[in-house]
A and B are shown apart, each in its own frame.
Chain A
Amino acid sequence: MKSHRHSALGADGPSPARLDVEAAGEWSLVVRLSGDWLLSSDVPAFTEIERSIRAGSARRLGFETAALGRWNSALMVFLSKCTDLCRDRGIEMDTSGLPPGAANLLRLARTAADKRAPASGARSATWLERVGEGVLAFAGGAGGFLTFLGECVVALFRLLRGRAQFRWSDTFLVMQECGPQALGIVALINFIVGLILAFVGTLQLARFGATIYSADLVAIATVREMACLMTGVIMCGRTGAAFAAQLGTMRVNQEIDAFQACGISPIEFLVLPRLMALILMMPLLCVFAAAIAIAGGFAVSTLMLDVTPTVYVRRTIGAVTLVSFLLGLGKGTIFGVLVALTGCHRGIQCGTNAAAVGRATTTAVVTGITAIIVSDGVFAVVCSALNI
């Protein structure tokens, strides 16, 4: 049997592939194939034989391959097209003149292809349909999130009653990952935020000769607002994305299905530890972040802006009220809940392939940050209305 070889390994250069169509009697055509029919070399266009068949009234197509050299899939694609054309035009195709391997492959492709794929029935949607589908998808997504939220609340109540399928060891592990291991990035970002606030604030306050109030500005801004906001954003990009990727991969590997099949609630076993970890760690991270940001402002004010350390510390202590402190902690905790919920929800509802995990991670971060900013805006309005 003549085996074909990929040209990269061929010892000789390919000889040009040729195709000649000749009439053999009144109703027959013979295709003479010669040269090397390889993917890596030019082969005759299929239109040559198509033209000959369409022009004549042949009822039978045969092949003559005595001069055929090396061949591979280039020949098979050509022969496959010949088969389709002959079938469409009711022409008998005689493969006896082909190399045995090629004839076998052709037979294999023909018999194996008998089972046709179902028609997909896909057609392009109009813009109105797309808008409608978009609205329905949004409504479906919102409904799905509310269901998830409800399940989480129920799971929390079950935890409080000591009936949840929940392991504190998992929670401590997640706390370690999203608490102590996040200290470095939280410290870096908040220190820089403190520096910026001190710089920008002092430049403006200096116009009124009120440079000393930069300590008040930094303290109030960080404790009430920036520390929890920046920490929330950091945790969303760091921990929320990790939650989505972990749970998404578990979805792909059918691990979540396995939990459900075993009668274990994925919400209680997977989501609750992550939710609890962030609820417990976010307030601590916010206190740490505020302290570091104040240290950043202290560094700028005392080293570069001629404010004495004693004055800075005294003004900071005077500026931070218990209400501001608790407000910062409360917002930080809420942001932690939002990060955990969006990350876990995107992971749980992830598709079953690698691309879906990527999408789940991206949407978890985008949704989480959006939710944090929106809820911070709501807090600002409510605090203003309550005069807090």
Chain B
Amino acid sequence: MTARVARQWVAGVDRALPVWAAVVLALVLLMALPLGWLVWMSVGGAAGATLGHYAQVARDPALLAALWNTVVLSFWVGLASLAVGAPLAWLTARTDLPGKSVIRSLVLASFVTPPFLGAFAWVMLAGPNAGLLNVLWRSTTGATDPLLDIFTMSGLVFVVTMYTFPYVYIMITNTLLLIASDLEEAAAILGAGRLAVARTVTLPMVAPALASGFILAVLQALALFGSPAILALPAGFHTITTQIWALFQYPPKVEMAAAISMPLLLATALLLLVQKRLLGRRGYAAIGGKGGQRGQIPLGPWRWPALLGCLAVMACAIFLPYGILAKAALSRAWAQPLSWSNLTLGNFAFTFFEYSATRAAIVNTLELGLATATIGAALVAMLSYVTNRRLVLGHQLVAFLALAPIVIPGVVLAVALFIAYTRPPFLLYGTLAILFVAYLTKEMPVGYAQSEATFRAIPPELEDAGRILGAGRLRILWDVTAPLARSGIIAAWCFIFIGVIRELSASIILFSPATRVMSVVIFDLKEEGQFGAIAVLGIVMLALTFATVLLVQKALGRDVLGVREGEPPPRPRRADADANQNGVGS
């Protein structure tokens, strides 16, 4: 008995050593070193450790205002995302709403749209004076005041919500699809009205998903850089992310940036902890997997108004912004009507042939995307196989560490990496390598969650059968596991790739002129007001993103949101939800 345990233990250690060494090294470089430097920088003074930087933050009204603005923004985005995402999820998952699959595809489109492009489009739509919607409003009503002013906190909340509600939608949809409707039917048979059923049966079952969706949305808003930079700065207010970035301007105040990063880091970690508790507590005794029947709730006369409501949301998230981007790309002056004299291909010519930064940026972006996605997918496949099959001791710890970067917002990660890699022994600043490290760290949890879910869905019995027939582990990995896991790993690859090509919040601090990527170029152009060129590059970025999404669909045979038409997902998709929470965040 003890001999057997000991033998297993020895075998475990043998296999574990190289894996452990690789993982520890990777995590030290990716996490411990930068975060260690970040903490050290925030307390480092000329005469040893000090809390002076924190005191300085606490005394500076501008920095406190930035902190407070972030709290306000995140809270309202969380609530608004619930208000938009939850009804949409219920409508598409549980009712006979017409055009459900179209709505779902549109939610997916909003999910993968870089939020900073949306913010930029909304400047053209709802700038208080030149914004097209306001111009239209004035000319039809004769009003002098604008209908919408996007350069306000509420404008910012609105735009951010349009690209954040999909997180809530995914959480709720996946929960609703897992809950068999027999409990609801039982309640109905016992005489409860439709509202009573919803209130006493459905709502308690989705409550953890609602709370957790709220937290996901808050976390997104917390970490966002592009949208506040585009909408809040013109209005004269900072959020914590834009403030950190501003502290990096010459002469840089890196210690202050490090100190003010801490509350952001702690808040994120705390919220994730709460979310984990919430999700961990739900027993889901009522979830029947594939067993339960799911009836469709007839909407009756509300079918068409409900559809109209969904389309209105999609108009704000997709139709209008994409339309105005296309218009800006094709016109000499975006604010003028699209007449023949205003029509031009000049923006394309300028962007691709005259502006020398474009091609280098596209090449850099693609190189980084391919490298990060490929190496990242290989890494997470290895990690998740090892943890899922429990091949090493302490596999829980490995799993935890692989998911841990999720608590680091992009800007904070960038500050940490900047401090760690602009000094010996690792001088990575100014090379693509530092961006690669940032992207790999940032996207690792997404990829890990996706590929972990893949291995969970592949029963180990097949591998055991192979072992019994005498094949070695590597042979089985190649002949049995790899073909089964392939599509899941491709999906992980795509998630990482999409995350990388849109990444802005870390890139904006880590780029150097020779290593600009597309998002940074777009941001540069924004600061100079080159609307046409931004629109052209934005369209290129969207095209790349959607091509990748199509690839995922093909690989998985389902859409990225984890929903197959008319069928629940094969297993509880908590991993997807985890994956999705860091998927955006630009």
Whether chain B is bound by chain A comes out as: no
Interface residues, chain A, CB within 8 Å of chain B?
none
